């Protein structure tokens, strides 16, 4: 167990934390980290076309169904989840939401943060979530914001998880996480998102591709991987 360590995931929609970061969430939860997901929306508009095509459905009903799926997926991965209900397509956060996320940073003191790529021409909700996550991270370390002489807080490293089409998002991963030991858990979380079954095989192939690349770069056998792009420099005592 890794007592006292925590990880924070800031995601625009429920499916994002499953497809893109489910392995990291499950792996660190297994290692004893307290993993918290901040899900900014329920994906009620942009991730729920199947519901709207059925007709005769309300926004509240779609939200409720997506919330239930997201809660089950988070539980499967070993994480807690908090919803901000900022809406999607478009996603617009509020000053109150920013204050809440700042408080989460300070209370949780995450060892790392996972969020979206900096760019995504296919989905502006994604870089907006990243901007929001970074703004809160910066404000959380400002001693003059809600001053508290007893506060101890160090801004955590930020890792960007892989977008759907990385080559269109100027996304260049520099970390590949071996998720072999939790792959079956991640796959179970996939299967909770039944309305997006068309993505199950796609993201299985992504994991296999990253696993192959991870093995080639490390010289160690691995089958499944997740790619991340680290934003800030890593401070080390030696290079080996």
- Integer Cα distance of 71 and 119 in angstroms: 27
Q: Which pLDDT belongs to residue 3? A: 61
Query: Contact, 158 vs 42, CB < 8 A?
Result: no
174: tokens are 């520099």
Residue corresponding to tokens 């409720």? 64
pLDDT at 1: 47
Give helix 200-218 / helix 183-192 axis angle, nearest 10°.
160
Q: Please give the Cα distance from 205 to 51 (Å, whole number).
A: 27
pLDDT-flagged residues of the chain (< 50): 1
The full set of domain ranges for the chain reads 6-230
pLDDT of residue 2: 60
pTM: 0.95
pLDDT of residue 119: 98
CB 45 within 8 A of CB 88: yes
**Side-chain half-sphere exposure of 55, counting CA atoms within 13 A:** 0
User: What per-residue confidence (pLDDT) applies to 99?
Assistant: 98
Domain 6-230 has CATH 3.40.50.10320: yes
């Amino acid at each position: 167990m890794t007592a006292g360590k925590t990880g924070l995931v800031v995601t625009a929609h429920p499916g994002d934390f499953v497809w893109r970061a489910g392995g990291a969430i499950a792996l660190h939860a297994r290692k004893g980290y307290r993993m918290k997901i901040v899900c900014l929306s329920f994906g009620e508009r942009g991730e729920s076309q199947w519901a709207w095509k059925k007709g005769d459905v309300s926004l509240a009903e779609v939200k409720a169904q997506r919330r239930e799926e997201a809660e089950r997926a988070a539980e499967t991965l070993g994480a807690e989840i908090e919803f901000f209900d900022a809406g999607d397509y478009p996603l617009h956060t509020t000053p109150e939401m920013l204050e809440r996320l700042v408080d989460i940073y300070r209370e949780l003191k995450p060892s790392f943060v996972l969020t979206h790529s900096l760019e995504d021409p296919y989905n502006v909700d994604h870089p907006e979530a990243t901007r929001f996550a970074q703004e809160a991270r910066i404000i959380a370390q400002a001693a003059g914001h809600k001053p508290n002489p007893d506060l101890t807080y160090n801004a955590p490293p930020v890792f960007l998880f892989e977008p759907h089409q990385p080559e269109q998002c100027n996304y260049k991963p520099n970390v590949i996480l071996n998720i072999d030991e939790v792959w079956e858990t991640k796959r179970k979380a996939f299967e909770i998102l039944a309305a997006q079954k068309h993505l199950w095989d796609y993201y299985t192939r992504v994991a296999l591709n990253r696993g192959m690349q991870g093995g080639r770069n490390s010289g160690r056998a691995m089958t499944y991987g997740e790619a991340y792009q680290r934003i800030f420099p890593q401070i080390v005592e030696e290079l080996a």
